[in-house]
């Protein structure tokens, strides 16, 4: 495929061989799925269904309300409402196995082959077949190449899901990781009938009111540090319960922090029901602050400019530890 390394092409061949001999397939992505996770899973699932495979698409947290337009038939199910067994399992856009969630991992047990397709450089290669392309800005871009390599069907809803997957993980084709190939694939999807205006409107201009209320709350607790090079905010359980938040309501809100003049690193801390804290970091400069390396100190990972972690502990303690580490990196490069 255009511009793809030989090892990625070879892994696509191995995946194709495994899929060809499978009757039942389960496809999943990480908990709290974003546009890339949802779009990649729905696109690959619909393509394989159109090719005659028995495919089940699941996610531990289900389909975020924001992306309901990509799944009018409700193909993507919550993992706890599905039962196996399955011949093979495919994990998408998930750097470590645990992020698939407990119910999803239960469905992955006893499959004869676990396939791991991801674009995060910190991926732990937990599959029987691992296809990891850290140069790709989105899992959706990898799925497009896989579909094209194997000449699989591309139904209209799969086409649209791929466009949304790539668009959301490239920041509407604006993030530094965006490649020339990203634009070429976007053009191919448009030529195939993707309506850019309609898809972009449904993706970026169709949020529930509570998302704006969440943003208002977060702006009230905005903090600046390290000579205004770090911008951060924290979302508490009390705030979430009071606003009736749903999964997906905070997706990309961190970009408001990242967009501040002078800010190098944006940090978002979210208190979770299980007593842990979800950390999301964004960097404007991988040279000044590689947030993947920072998150790896907290058992997380991702990319140089966008990474995350989940840590057990009190919100205030985790926030203090992470912000201190970011400051050390910005001041003297101490990771």
Predicted pLDDT of residue 3? 61
Q: Rounded to whole angstroms, how far apart are CA atoms 125 and 15?
A: 14
CATH superfamily of domain region 6-204: inorganic pyrophosphatase (n-terminal core) (3.90.1640.10)
Predicted pLDDT of residue 13? 96
- Per-residue confidence at 1, pLDDT binned at 50, 70, 90? low
Predicted pLDDT of residue 5? 82
- Out of 2.40.160.40, 3.10.310.30, 3.30.450.20, 3.40.718.10, which CATH number does the structure's domain 209-332 have? 3.10.310.30
Predicted pLDDT of residue 246? 87
Q: Which long-range contacts (CB under 8 A, 24 or more apart) does 187-191 make?
A: 188/144, 189/144, 189/159, 189/162, 189/163, 190/163
- Per-residue confidence at 51, pLDDT binned at 50, 70, 90? very high
Predicted pLDDT of residue 96? 92
Whether residue 270 has pLDDT greater than 90: yes
User: HEC profile for 54-87?
Assistant: EEEEEECCCCCHHHHHHCCCCCEEEHHHCCCCCC
114 vs 12, 21, 88, 309, 331, CA distance in Å? 14, 14, 6, 23, 42
- Per-residue confidence at 2, pLDDT binned at 50, 70, 90? low
Torsion of CA 188, 193, 196, 198, to 10 degrees: -160
Q: Indicate the average pLDDT of the chain.
A: 95
Whether residue 57 has pLDDT greater than 70: yes
Whether residue 217 has pLDDT greater than 90: yes
**What pTM did the predictor assign?**
0.91
Of 184, 158, 196, 178, the residue nearest 43 (C-alpha): 158
Predicted pLDDT of residue 9? 87
- Per-residue confidence at 328, pLDDT binned at 50, 70, 90? very high
Percent of the chain having pLDDT more than 90? 91
Q: Do domains 6-204 and 209-332 have the same CATH topology?
A: no
Predicted pLDDT of residue 156? 98
Q: Is 233 helix (H, G, I), strand (E, B) or coil?
A: strand
Once rounded to an integer, what is the mean pLDDT over residues 221-239?
Answer: 97
Q: Which residues of 275-299 are buried (b: 16+ CB within 10 A; e: fewer)?
A: ebbbbbbbbbeeeebbbbbbbbebe
Whether residue 115 has pLDDT greater than 80: yes
Whether residue 175 has pLDDT greater than 80: yes
Predicted pLDDT of residue 6? 85
Domain assignments of the chain as residue spans, ordered by start = 6-204, 209-332
Whether residue 25 has pLDDT greater than 80: yes
Whether residue 48 has pLDDT greater than 60: yes
Which tens digit of pLDDT belongs to each residue from 122-163? 999 999 999 999 999 999 999 999 999 999 999 999 999 999
């Amino acid at each position: 495929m255009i511009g793809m390394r030989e090892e990625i092409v070879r892994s696509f061949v191995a995946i194709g061989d495994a899929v060809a001999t499978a009757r039942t397939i389960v496809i999943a992505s990480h908990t709290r799925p974003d546009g890339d996770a949802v779009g990649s899973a729905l696109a690959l699932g619909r393509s394989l269904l159109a090719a005659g495979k028995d495919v089940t698409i699941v996610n531990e947290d289900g389909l975020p309300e924001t992306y309901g337009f990509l799944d009018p038939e409700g193909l993507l199910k919550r993992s706890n409402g599905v039962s196996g067994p399955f011949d093979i399992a495919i994990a998408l856009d998930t750097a470590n196995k645990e992020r698939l969630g407990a119910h999803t991992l239960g469905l992955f047990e006893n499959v004869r082959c676990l396939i791991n397709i991801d674009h995060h450089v910190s991926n732990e290669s937990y599959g029987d077949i691992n296809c990891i392309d850290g140069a790709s800005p989105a899992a959706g871009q990898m799925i497009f190449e896989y579909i094209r390599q194997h000449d699989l069907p591309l139904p209209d809803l799969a086409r649209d899901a791929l466009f949304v997957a790539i668009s959301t993980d490239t920041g509407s084709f604006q993030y530094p990781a965006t490649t020339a190939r990203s634009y070429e694939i976007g053009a191919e999807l448009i030529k195939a009938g993707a309506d850019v205006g309609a898809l972009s409107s449904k993706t970026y201009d169709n949020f529930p009111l509570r998302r704006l209320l969440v943003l208002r709350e977060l702006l009230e607790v905005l903090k600046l540090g390290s000579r205004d090079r770090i911008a951060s905010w924290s979302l508490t359980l009390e705030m979430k319960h009071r606003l009736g938040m749903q999964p997906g309501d905070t997706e990309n809100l961190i970009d408001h922090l990242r967009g501040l003049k002078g800010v190098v690193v944006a940090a978002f801390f979210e208190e979770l029901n299980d007593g842990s804290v979800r950390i999301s970091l964004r960097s404007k400069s991988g040279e000044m602050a590689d947030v993947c390396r920072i998150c790896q100190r907290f058992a997380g990972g991702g990319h140089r400019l966008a990474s995350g972690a989940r840590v057990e502990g009190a919100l205030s303690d985790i926030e203090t530890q992470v912000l201190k580490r970011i400051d050390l990196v910005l001041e003297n490069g101490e990771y």
